[in-house]
Amino acid sequence: MQKYKLISKISLIVLLVIGIIMAVLFYVGGNLEEKHLVAGDELPIPRFTDLFLYWNYILLGLVCLITLCFVCKNYIDLWKTNAKKAITTTAVLVGFVALACVCWFMGSPEKIDIIGYEGTDNQGAWAQLSDMMIYLCYFLLGGTLLTILGGWIYTKTLSK
């Protein structure tokens, strides 16, 4: 177990040092010759913007991968120890996927007019994905509010 703690600490320190170096390069590394025009103002572009963004993408990918690995390991362990609870977990996961599918079909692939944007990523599947995420947030917020309300009613009727 000590090896895992040591590997974890070393990994954390290495990633932190690399992140600090990337941040210093981004903020102190100077600007490119070209300027970015935003609302009539010319803004400088930091020299190491791409490097900084790629490092953040790598960190985000690592976090997602590690989280997914731990979730899968715990899910497999749950099947070994408590199959009834694992079936409940599977039902919740299937329900969430079904809700995501319903939200996908509720979304519209029509072009979204965005002022100042001339690309093509605001139509088709990307527009539908954006709508899906918004509808999914609405449903999850509604479910959370209903759960809070139901819990409050349950505790009030239980205390009588």
- Domain boundary residue among 69, 93, 116? 69
3-state secondary structure of 46: strand
Nearest C-alpha neighbor of 75 from the set 59, 92, 62, 98: 92
Q: Same domain for 157 and 112? A: yes
Whether pTM > 0.75 for this model: the answer is no
Range of the domain at 51: 1-69
88 within some domain: yes
Tell me the two tokens of residue 13. 């320190």
Of 133 and 119, the one with more pLDDT? 133
Q: Same domain for 87 and 139? A: yes
150 within some domain: yes
75 within some domain: no
Q: Same domain for 158 and 89? A: yes
Computed over every residue of the chain, the mean pLDDT equals: 89
| Structural domain count of the chain | 2
Query: Mean of the pLDDT values across residues 36-53?
Result: 81
76 within some domain: no
pLDDT at 104: 94
pLDDT at 1: 63
74 within some domain: no
Q: Are 71 and 93 in contact (CB under 8 A)?
A: no
pLDDT class of 80 with cuts at 50, 70, 90 = very high
pLDDT over 80 at 39, yes or no:
no
Q: Same domain for 47 and 98? A: no
**Within the chain, what is the greatest distance between any pair of CA atoms?**
72
Q: Same domain for 93 and 160? A: yes
Query: Mean of the pLDDT values across residues 30-49?
Result: 79
